[in-house]
A and B are shown apart, each in its own frame.
Chain A
Amino acid sequence: MTTSPTSEGSEPPLAVTEARAVAMHDDPRFRELRARLVRFVLPASVVFLAWYLLYVLLSAYADGLMSTKVVGNANVALFFGLLQFVTTFGIAILYSRYANRSLDPLADELRAELEGSGEEPAARRGEDA
């Protein structure tokens, strides 16, 4: 297909042949990479969406609870809102640590292998890192 996004440009990216990429899709290491991604991203997304929806629903329907004062003038609604900031920052930090540790090394190894630029033994060593 001539319109493939990889096919033009003054400095074309290293070619990845179709056959190698297709074969890689069934490679156990690629499946492991995808499983690792899904294992974090899916539950995390369910959790933060449900947590946010709970917040919106309580804001809409739970007047009594949300207006309960906790400290001085600060009510449950304020703390609930601030907690949304905390969980957003927290999930972002957790994900980045997880990605650095569990996704990047494996992705880099597979990438080097596909692009044929990394030495095979070096890539192998990266697997357990």
Chain B
Amino acid sequence: MTTLAAETTSQERLITMILFTALIAVTIGITVWAGRRTRSATDFHSGGRGFTGLQNGFAIGGDYMSAASFLGIAGTIALFGYDGFLYSIGFLVAWLVALLLVAELLRNSGRFTMADVVSYRMRQRPVRTAASVSTLTVSIFYLLAQMVGAGALVALLLGIEDGDTYLGMSADTAKIVGIVVVGILMVVYVSFGGMTGTTWVQIVKAVLLMGGALLVTLLVLSIYDFDFGALMNDASSASGVGDAFLEPGQRYGVEVAGDAWQTMINKLDLISLGLALVLGTAGLPHILIRFYTVPDSKTARKSVNWAIGLIGTFYLLTLVLGFGAAALVGREAIVGQNAAGNTAAPQLAEAVGDHFGGDFWGAVLLAFIAAVAFATILSTVAGLTIASSSSLAHDFYNNVLRRGKASERDEVRVARFAAIGVGVISIVLAVFAQNLNVAFLVALAFAIAASANLPTVLLSLFWRRFNTTGAVAGIYGGLISSVGLVFFSPVVSGKGVDAKGNNLSLFPESVDFHWFPLENPGLVSIPVGLLCAILGTLLSREEDPDRFARLQVRALTGAGAERATTH
């Protein structure tokens, strides 16, 4: 009943395929409609800035709650209990940084990209180049993690196991097909639909995700007569570790008996991860550009409030989903399907569907949650693609190469092609990386955002003395230190193999050049990025108090802020 692949019937696959096709058809329809409304650069990069707070709040939720947070957090809770919840809290608290310090000020002072704000009172070309490099690095790493996950997920959701075929595809071909289809769709959404198309895809996804999670949560709770304590009881006794399942320490900050050094490293790693999550969110380029899609800073504030409500509610639901999967599906069945627990949520959907309506409804609910997961992947990769293409076209092409003299038509055309380029590159990288362990890239993207982007955005808004050298040093310092430290960390080489012999690092187990003990660089790279920004500033005598005055007046009052276009 609860293994997806082995007993997947052709009926289940048929329903899954129908829902996938319907989802693709709806999103393509949205894209065509949005494409007709996308003419100016403001339309392409910012969707005309006409979205309401509610719409943008859902779109932010759709952008932010990636497959890693939906399937990953539910799976982590199902396998490791409390620590999955601990992980999700960092993703939520982070939104206060966005609300209090970033969203409104960015909306008032910028135009299309993060670099608009950072470069406002600096020399344009070096700062925009740095910001563009950082945007692309963060987005491509995040994209790669999503797409490799997408390939495996499509194979799993269609229930194709090794040695098995469906529609003539083996599991390996299905993975590649999954990556290519996701890659093509994201390019289509972005290059034809621009930000308007991307936003509506994200809104649709957020509604589906909340609806699906709420439905399964209610079904799980009704099995337990809405007694959450009974559910926790069942989950902890099914977990095999008893009460420890409900306490921190199964996944993060793990205590290794007899190894005080490794225990200390594990605990520092947890703190490092927590810092990167909380400070990284408000520096993620694909999140930052969402604040430009609304008419003014008040609407930006409202949209963050909606997003906080949605994301918070969703993580509370995942607690039920995770415990439900632990109790009703069971650890063995989950790990049997996917070692990281990524299929725990779809498996749970099938289990509760079976419980209430028999096999047919089990299959329907499974297919529905699989389609939700697919929508989740599509909307996040679309957000990452438009962030990359906007930065390439607006920052790099227009402001660096053409010194700000390119026409809007040119900039939009370049942005459309940039989306295709980003799509092709990430498809190729993802196909090559499909069997590598790339899960660490998500945490790395947050660490770069926290080390390189957030400090420079905040300093440019609040530190009068901050200048070009400081901004460039801050961005590259944060970027290089986080990527460099991860390169020499156990996630890239030397972590060894797990109990089943699976390699835990990116490089083969025979290679080991790691010397940095932590898996998450934030604890070191965030201070390094900030320090580089401060030292770089003090080493240069450049200072422009008038531009600073203009930026701050604009950021705080909204005077001269970009307006919405009217259609």
A-side contacts of B116, CB under 8 Å: 5
5 A/B residue pairs, CB under 8 Å, sorted by A? A3-B399, A8-B408, A49-B278, A56-B274, A59-B252
Within 8 A of B (CB), among A1-60: 1-3, 5-6, 8-11, 13-16, 18, 21-22, 24-26, 30, 33-34, 37, 40-41, 44-45, 48-49, 52-53, 55-57, 59-60
Q: Which of B85, B120, B278, B305 contacts A92 (CB 8 A)?
A: B305
Q: B541 near A: Cβ within 8 Å?
A: no
Assess whether A45 is in contact with B96, with CB atoms less than 8 Å apart: yes
Stretch in B170-178, B242-250, B350-358, B505-513 touching the partner: B242-250
Assess whether B559 is in contact with A114, with CB atoms less than 8 Å apart: yes
User: Which single residue of chain A is at the shortest CB-CB distance from B559?
Assistant: A114
Q: CA A45 – CA B97 in complex, angstroms? A: 7
Assess whether B274 is in contact with A11, with CB atoms less than 8 Å apart: no
Give the residue among B86, B93, B249 with the most A Cβ atoms within 10 A.
B93
Q: B8 near A: Cβ within 8 Å?
A: no
Using known A-B contacts A114-B557, A114-B560, determine if residue A5 contacts B312 with beta carbons closer than 8 Å.
no
User: Which single residue of chain B is at the shortest CB-CB distance from A89?
Assistant: B312
Q: CA A41 – CA B565 in complex, angstroms? A: 31
Assess whether A92 is in contact with B557, with CB atoms less than 8 Å apart: no
B-side contacts of A93, CB under 8 Å: 305
Assess whether A88 is in contact with B120, with CB atoms less than 8 Å apart: no
Q: CA A115 – CA B271 in complex, angstroms? A: 46
Using known A-B contacts A73-B232, A75-B247, A91-B96, determine if residue A30 contacts B561 with beta carbons closer than 8 Å.
no
Chain B interface SS verdict (over half): helix
User: Which single residue of chain A is at the shortest CB-CB distance from B552?
Assistant: A25
Assess whether A81 is in contact with B85, with CB atoms less than 8 Å apart: yes
Min C-beta distance of B134 to chain A, whole Å:
19
Assess whether B553 is in contact with A30, with CB atoms less than 8 Å apart: yes
- Provide the A86-123 mask, 1 if CB < 8 A to any CB of B, else 0: 00110111011001000010011011001100000000
B-side contacts of A89, CB under 8 Å: 308-309, 312
Q: Which of A30, A52, A73, A92 contacts B556 (CB 8 A)?
A: A30
Q: Which of B40, B252, B301, B552 contacts A96 (CB 8 A)?
A: B301
Assess whether A10 is in contact with B408, with CB atoms less than 8 Å apart: yes
Assess whether A3 is in contact with B556, with CB atoms less than 8 Å apart: no
Q: B546 near A: Cβ within 8 Å?
A: yes
B-side contacts of A77, CB under 8 Å: 82, 246-248
B-side contacts of A71, CB under 8 Å: 229
Assess whether A52 is in contact with B278, with CB atoms less than 8 Å apart: yes
User: Which single residue of chain A is at the shortest CB-CB distance from B236?
Assistant: A73
Q: CA A88 – CA B249 in complex, angstroms? A: 24
Q: CA A114 – CA B403 in complex, angstroms? A: 29
Assess whether B243 is in contact with A3, with CB atoms less than 8 Å apart: no
Q: B107 near A: Cβ within 8 Å?
A: no
Q: Which of B244, B246, B309, B404 contacts A78 (CB 8 A)?
A: B246
Chain A interface SS verdict (over half): helix
Assess whether A22 is in contact with B550, with CB atoms less than 8 Å apart: yes
Q: How many residues of B contact A (CB 8 A)?
A: 68
Assess whether A33 is in contact with B556, with CB atoms less than 8 Å apart: yes
The 6 closest A-B pairs by CB, nearest first: A3-B404, A25-B549, A114-B559, A16-B560, A59-B248, A60-B253
Assess whether A21 is in contact with B553, with CB atoms less than 8 Å apart: yes
Q: CA A107 – CA B305 in complex, angstroms? A: 20
- Provide the B38-49 mask, 1 if CB < 8 A to any CB of A, else 0: 001110000000
9 additional A-B residue pairs with CB within 8 Å, beyond A45-B100, A59-B252, A111-B558 = A3-B124, A8-B408, A21-B549, A30-B557, A40-B100, A55-B89, A56-B86, A88-B96, A107-B557
- Provide the B250-285 mask, 1 if CB < 8 A to any CB of A, else 0: 001100000000000001001100100010000000
Assess whether A2 is in contact with B270, with CB atoms less than 8 Å apart: no
A-side contacts of B302, CB under 8 Å: 96
Using known A-B contacts A57-B271, A67-B247, determine if residue A11 contacts B556 with beta carbons closer than 8 Å.
no
Within 8 A of A (CB), among B424-483: none
Assess whether A111 is in contact with B86, with CB atoms less than 8 Å apart: no
Q: B149 near A: Cβ within 8 Å?
A: no
Assess whether B246 is in contact with A13, with CB atoms less than 8 Å apart: no
Assess whether A60 is in contact with B563, with CB atoms less than 8 Å apart: no
A-side contacts of B554, CB under 8 Å: 16, 21
Within 8 A of A (CB), among B65-111: 82, 85-86, 89-90, 92-93, 95-97, 99-101, 110-111
Q: B22 near A: Cβ within 8 Å?
A: no
Q: B316 near A: Cβ within 8 Å?
A: yes
Min C-beta distance of A18 to chain B, whole Å:
6
Q: CA A59 – CA B255 in complex, angstroms? A: 12
User: Which single residue of chain B is at the shortest CB-CB distance from A25?
Assistant: B549
A-side contacts of B111, CB under 8 Å: 5
Within 8 A of A (CB), among B524-543: none
Assess whether A66 is in contact with B95, with CB atoms less than 8 Å apart: no
Min C-beta distance of B406 to chain A, whole Å:
10
Q: CA A40 – CA B104 in complex, angstroms? A: 15
B-side contacts of A30, CB under 8 Å: 553, 556-557
B-side contacts of A110, CB under 8 Å: 553, 557, 559
Min C-beta distance of B532 to chain A, whole Å:
21
Q: CA A94 – CA B561 in complex, angstroms? A: 25
A-side contacts of B413, CB under 8 Å: none
B-side contacts of A15, CB under 8 Å: 560
Min C-beta distance of B410 to chain A, whole Å:
12
Min C-beta distance of B103 to chain A, whole Å:
11
A-side contacts of B229, CB under 8 Å: 71-74
Q: CA A71 – CA B42 in complex, angstroms? A: 54
Min C-beta distance of B114 to chain A, whole Å:
12
B-side contacts of A40, CB under 8 Å: 100
Assess whether B274 is in contact with A88, with CB atoms less than 8 Å apart: no
